[in-house]
């Protein structure tokens, strides 16, 4: 019987095997998908006028074909073309609402972390009070008060999604306040406002930008839910929620394709944005990336 010899494994090979893999490869498919969608959203409206696709009853309720890849709806409109316009509206609402909510959350979190004391306690109790109400329910109340419109949807999403940004900024500010460079700025005679603008906000900017990116798909789903319930954009406007709402009636007569295209587009867009956001989150937190790898 041959004798088995044991050889030590080089340290370089052990380090290479145990090192966390770079998550960059996960960003490539998401970036390609988002690039294609962005190109379609920007180019298609310049080439084809959506008004030309309105009300052509001669081709109403047609299933998918070579001429209409995702079929037509009950008014003869091309479902795929209308999805492109709907995505432009939904993504615009989601981006604008995410930016406004991030600005609001950053202001509240920075004020709470910098002021401290009763101001911090009051603002955090406000955050807890708003968080205790479901986002969708609170959004419905806000839209009902302001009356359904594009601006009402943006305001409702912004006023219900600023909580995470406020908590993130507050925790980062409280952590940064104990750093030596903040003590040096205080000794140098810098005011609270100058310290906040010159030192604290630039250091929390990456976390705020990440929170904004993660908030976009949630805002898109929120707009879709409001439009689906009839409280979002006007019924004639092309949005993902309106298209899914209109497709309910078509499902009863076998028009499955009318809900397939907007549903797939919503899922693909959300997964693409979430993929890029997840990679960025892992890069900002190497410890979490190592835990996920193991």
Q: What is the mean pLDDT of the chain?
A: 77
Give domain limits for the chain. Answer: 80-170+209-293
pLDDT at 140 over 60: yes
Q: How far apart are CA 263 and CA 265, in angstroms?
A: 5
The average pLDDT across 200-220 equals 82
Would you state the pLDDT for residue 104?
Answer: 92
Query: Mind listing the pLDDT tens digit for each residue in 149-180?
Result: 888 889 998 998 888 888 888 888 888 877 88
Contacts of 219 (CB under 8 A, 6+ apart): 93, 94, 95, 97, 98, 101, 157, 161
Q: Under a CB-based contact definition with an 8 Å cutoff, are residues 291 and 39 in contact?
A: no
Q: Read off φ and ψ for residue 25, nearest 5 degrees.
A: -65, -25
Query: Mind listing the pLDDT tens digit for each residue in 60-109?
Result: 777 777 877 787 877 777 888 888 888 888 888 888 998 999 999 998 98
Q: Virtual CA dihedral for 156, 124, 111, 285, nearest 10 degrees?
A: -90
Q: Read off φ and ψ for residue 63, nearest 5 degrees.
A: -70, 170
Would you state the pLDDT for residue 7?
Answer: 54
Q: How far apart are CA 292 and CA 206, in angstroms?
A: 21
Q: Which helix (H) or strand (E) holds 198?
A: none
User: Is this prediction's pTM over 0.85?
Assistant: no
The contacts found for 99-102 with CB under 8 angstroms, 24 or more apart, are 99/212, 100/154, 100/158, 101/157, 101/158, 101/159, 101/160, 101/161, 101/162, 101/165, 101/215, 101/219, 102/162, 102/165, 102/208, 102/211, 102/212, 102/215
The average pLDDT across 125-145 equals 87
Counting Cβ atoms within 10 Å, is residue 49 exposed (0-12), middle (13-18) or buried (19+)?
A: exposed
The average pLDDT across 13-36 equals 62
122 pLDDT band (50/70/90 cuts)?
very high
pLDDT at 287 over 80: no
| Residue 253 DSSP label | T
Domain 80-170+209-293 has CATH 1.10.3720.10: yes
Percent of the chain scoring above 90 in pLDDT: 3
- CA angle at residue 25 from 24 to 28, to 5 degrees? 95
Higher-pLDDT residue of 237, 115: 115
pLDDT at 125 over 80: yes
Q: For helices 150-160 and 135-146, give the axis angle rounded to 10 degrees.
A: 140
pLDDT at 9 over 60: no
Q: For helices 135-146 and 201-228, give the axis angle rounded to 10 degrees.
A: 70
Alpha helices in the chain (DSSP H): 11-18, 24-47, 79-115, 117-131, 135-146, 150-160, 163-176, 180-187, 192-195, 201-228, 240-251, 257-284, 286-293
DSSP assignment of 15-79: HHHHSPPPTHHHHHHHHHHHHHHHHHHHHHHHHS-GGGGS--GGGTTPPS-SSSTT-B-TT--BH
How many other CB atoms are found less than 10 A from the CB of residue 186? 13
| Residue 4 DSSP label | P
């Amino acid at each position: 019987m041959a004798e088995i010899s044991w050889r030590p494994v080089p340290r370089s090979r052990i380090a290479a095997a145990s090192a966390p893999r770079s998550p960059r490869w996960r960003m490539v498919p998401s970036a390609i998908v988002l690039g294609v969608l962005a190109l379609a959203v920007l180019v298609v409206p310049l080439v084809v006028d959506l008004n030309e696709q309105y009300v052509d009853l001669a081709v109403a309720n047609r299933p998918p074909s070579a001429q209409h890849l995702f079929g037509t709806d009950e008014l003869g409109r091309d479902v795929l073309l209308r999805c492109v316009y709907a995505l432009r509206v939904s993504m615009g609402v989601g981006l604008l609402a995410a930016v406004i909510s991030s600005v609001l959350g950053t202001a509240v979190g920075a004020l709470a972390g910098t002021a401290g004391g009763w101001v911090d306690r009051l603002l955090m109790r406000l955050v807890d009070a708003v968080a205790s109400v479901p986002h969708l329910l609170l959004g419905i109340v806000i839209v009902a008060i302001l009356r359904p419109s594009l601006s009402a949807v943006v305001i409702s999403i912004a006023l219900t999604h600023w909580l995470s940004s406020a908590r993130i900024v507050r925790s980062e500010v409280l952590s940064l306040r104990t750093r030596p460079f903040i003590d040096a700025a205080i000794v140098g005679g810098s005011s609270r406002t100058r310290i906040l603008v010159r030192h604290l906000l630039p250091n929390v900017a990456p976390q705020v930008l990440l929170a904004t990116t993660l908030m976009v798909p949630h805002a898109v789903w929120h707009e879709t839910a409001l439009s689906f319930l009839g409280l979002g954009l006007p019924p004639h406007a092309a949005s993902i929620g309106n298209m899914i709402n209109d497709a309910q009636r078509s499902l009863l007569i076998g028009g499955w394709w009318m809900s397939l295209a907007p549903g797939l587009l919503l899922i693909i867009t959300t997964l693409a944005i979430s993929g890029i956001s997840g990679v960025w989150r892992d890069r900002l937190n190497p410890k979490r990336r190592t835990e996920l790898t193991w």
